[in-house]
Structure 1
Amino acid sequence: MSTADLSSGSLFPAAIRATSPHRVLGRFAAVVCIVLAGCGDNPPPALGGDPDNGRLLLRQFGCGSCHRIPGVAAARGNVGPSLEGVATRVYLGGVLPNTPENMVRWIRNPKQFDPETAMPDLPIAEGQARDIVAYLQGLK
């Protein structure tokens, strides 16, 4: 701080006093926006899958015949549980800890984990299962 700044009676340097309050507010708002942009509620899709394709695959494989699935047309089945909020459940099929990796394994081969499950083993490729999981992980 210079002696000129002190003689003006202000606690702020002349460079800060000369800055328009609107300009300071604008800079502050920009910084806040940048910081908050990294705090979104939408994490990257699980396992790098494509959630949009996953939604289409859920319909293509007929998963809605047994499950209620939000966002999937005609998915109003009552054989299996609703898949709304499936990402927040502790277990898959009551037997497998719920992680994205285990969900891929369950979707591809449920009878491996529960031979008595009504869920069929379908010819779902690894990449397709990752896409389905990316969609289902968003149903929180």
Structure 2
Amino acid sequence: MTGPHERRGWSLAVVLAAVGLAAACARVASPPPGELYRNGRPDHGAELIQRYGCGSCHTVPGVDRANGLVGPPLTRFGARSYIAGELPNNADNLRRWIQNPQSVEPGTAMPNLGVTDVDARDIAAYLFSLE
């Protein structure tokens, strides 16, 4: 049988573990939405997602016929902590991933599509708007 002090110690350990877990799951990097929306055009980004065929592999909310199941769904992308489980989710990293995913994760199923820097910026602006 455990005494009141032992139970209190166990409860405190559980609370501390939960707090530590919550802190570890907290966002690593906040995307800088101000920079994205000043420099990128989310409305054009949605058009580009369709033009580059991103929806053949990804489900992308707000983009017509973007219901692919090969890659992960891009719902709530702006609220995510990481890109491809590799990079902190911020504007520079997202543009890098969109333009050259193989340089981030060699062998990834995501192909290099020849996305220009301007197009990557607009696509990123759209994806960050998905919160």
TM-score, structure 1 normalization: 0.67
Matched, 1:96 2:94: no
Structure 1 gaps of 5+ residues are 1-42
In structure 1, what is the equivalent of residue 104 of structure 2?
113
State the SS of the aligned residue for 1:139: coil
Give runs of ≥4 in structure 1 deviating > 6 Å: none
Tell me which amino acid in the other structure corresponds to 2:101. P
Deviation of residue 44 (structure 1)?
A: 4.1
Following the alignment from structure 1 to structure 2, what is the Cα–Cα distance between the partners of residues 95 and 101?
13
Matched, 1:69 2:54: no
With a CA cutoff of 8 Å and minimum separation of 6, indicate the structure with the bigger relative contact order.
2
Tell me which amino acid in the other structure corresponds to 2:76. G
Deviation of residue 90 (structure 1)?
A: 1.4
Tell me which amino acid in the other structure corresponds to 2:58. H
Q: Is the 1:87–1:138 contact (alpha carbons within 8 Å) kept by the matching residues of 2?
A: yes
Following the alignment from structure 1 to structure 2, what is the Cα–Cα distance between the partners of residues 45 and 65?
29
In structure 2, what is the equivalent of residue 126 of structure 1?
117
Matched, 1:49 2:77: no
Tell me which amino acid in the other structure corresponds to 1:64. G
In structure 1, what is the equivalent of residue 9 of structure 2?
none
Percent identical:
48
Q: Work out which of the two has the higher radius of gyration on C-alpha atoms and give 1 or 2.
A: 1
State the SS of the aligned residue for 1:115: coil
TM-score, structure 2 normalization: 0.71
User: Cα RMSD (Å) of the superposition?
Assistant: 1.3
Q: Give the total of aligned pairs.
A: 98
Deviation string, structure 1 residues 2-56 (Cα, Å, up to 9, x no partner): xxxxxxxxxxxxxxxxxxxxxxxxxxxxxxxxxxxxxxxxx64616101111000
